[in-house]
């Protein structure tokens, strides 16, 4: 399988997974490039989580520069927001785990 097709399939599987509300792919500048939610929500999530991830990553790396952030989970009353950062991208998934 082409790596591109594989990635597309993985993203599709995540989107159709049980309990997943939405998926957003954000680039390095904080601009969402792919989303399953509406525009305003996407922009809001992208902006806020981008900043939070940068802060979290900075914290982890400040303590030990050889370490790096793998993922960030924010569990709230209603659902769980999962953020996985990459060198250039950010993948955000909102899931309702109890569903």
Interface residues with another protein (CB under 8 A)?
1, 3-4, 6-8, 10-11, 13-14, 17-20, 25, 27, 33-34, 58, 61-62, 65-66, 70-71, 73, 80, 82, 84-91, 93, 95, 97
Residue with smaller CB distance to another protein, 9 or 44: 9
What would the DSSP string read from start to end of the chain?
Answer: --HHHHHHHHHHHHHTSTTEEEEEEE-TTS-EEEESS-HHHHHHHHHHHHHHHHHHHHHHHHH-TT-----EEEE-SS-EEEEEE-SS-EEEEEE-TT-
**Minimum separation from the CB atom of position 98 to another protein (A):** 9
């Amino acid at each position: 399988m082409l790596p591109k097709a594989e990635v597309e399939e993985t993203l599709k599987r995540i989107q159709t997974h049980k309990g997943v509300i939405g998926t957003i792919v954000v680039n390095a500048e904080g601009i969402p490039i792919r989303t399953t939610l509406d525009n305003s929500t996407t922009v809001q999530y992208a902006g806020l989580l981008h900043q939070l991830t940068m802060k979290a990553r900075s914290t982890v790396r400040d303590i030990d520069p050889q370490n790096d952030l793998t993922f960030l989970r924010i569990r709230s009353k209603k659902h769980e927001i999962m953020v996985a950062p990459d060198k250039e991208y950010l993948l955000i998934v909102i899931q309702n785990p109890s569903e």
